[in-house]
């Protein structure tokens, strides 16, 4: 029993020594990168999380390919042929439960969402997901390829 207590005490002293009383963190840095955001409270030391950025943002040349992938990967099976809704919600309206910005749509596709959206991040290439995101963001705009009639 005494050995167990001494081991625990030694581990606690070592942990406190490792802290070294330094309360600085990445979050207190003077100028964080422009695409960084901070999450807290969180386990472990504070750290910066970087927002993902769409490599195809504003690239109209990938819209038709994004539409093709939307159909090819059967997104249309749940969200409707022109993303107007079905078993899954409409992607054409302005109501987005998890955020309608590119990073949030990417997260919804890759990580999945409760109530039926599966996680596709381990099954689809990241570039294809970004093309689908670009297509989704083009819905209800003059740039939308193959709009509903």
Counting Cα atoms < 13 Å in the Cβ hemisphere of 16 gives 6
| Tens digits of residue pLDDT in 6-53 | 565 565 555 555 554 444 443 444 455 555 555 445 566 666 666 789
Task: State how far the Cα of 9 lies from the Cα of 1, in Å rounded to an integer.
Answer: 12
Task: State how far the Cα of 55 lies from the Cα of 63, in Å rounded to an integer.
Answer: 13
145 pLDDT tier (thresholds 50, 70, 90): very high
Task: State how far the Cα of 109 lies from the Cα of 83, in Å rounded to an integer.
Answer: 14
Long-range Cβ contacts of 88-93 (<8 Å, 24+ apart) = 88/116, 88/117, 91/136, 91/139, 92/139, 92/140
149 pLDDT tier (thresholds 50, 70, 90): confident
- Rounded to two decimals, the pTM is 0.68
72 pLDDT tier (thresholds 50, 70, 90): very high
Domain boundaries, the chain: 2-50, 60-138
Instruction: Give the single-character DSSP code of 102.
Output: H
Helices (H), 20-125: 63-72, 76-79, 102-111
Which residue did the predictor score with more confidence, 134 or 115? Answer: 134
| Tens digits of residue pLDDT in 85-133 | 999 999 999 899 999 999 999 999 999 999 899 999 999 999 999 999 9
CATH assignment, 60-138: 1.10.760.10
Residues 6+ apart with CB under 8 A from 59: 134
């Amino acid at each position: 029993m005494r050995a167990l207590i001494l081991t625990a005490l030694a581990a606690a002293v070592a942990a406190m020594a490792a802290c070294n009383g330094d309360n600085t963190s990445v979050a207190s840095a003077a100028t964080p990168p422009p695409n960084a955001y901070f999450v807290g409270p969180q386990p472990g030391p504070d750290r910066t999380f970087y927002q993902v950025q769409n490599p195809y943002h504003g690239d109209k040349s990938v819209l038709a390919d994004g539409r093709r992938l939307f159909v090819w990967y059967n997104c249309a099976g749940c969200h409707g042929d022109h993303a107007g809704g079905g078993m899954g919600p409409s992607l054409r309206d302005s109501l987005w439960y998890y955020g309608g910005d590119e990073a949030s749509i990417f997260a919804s596709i890759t990580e999945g969402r409760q109530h039926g959206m599966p996680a596709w991040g381990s099954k689809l290439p990241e570039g294809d997901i970004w093309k689908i995101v670009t297509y989704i963001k083009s819905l209800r705009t003059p740039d939308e390829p193959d709009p509903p009639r």
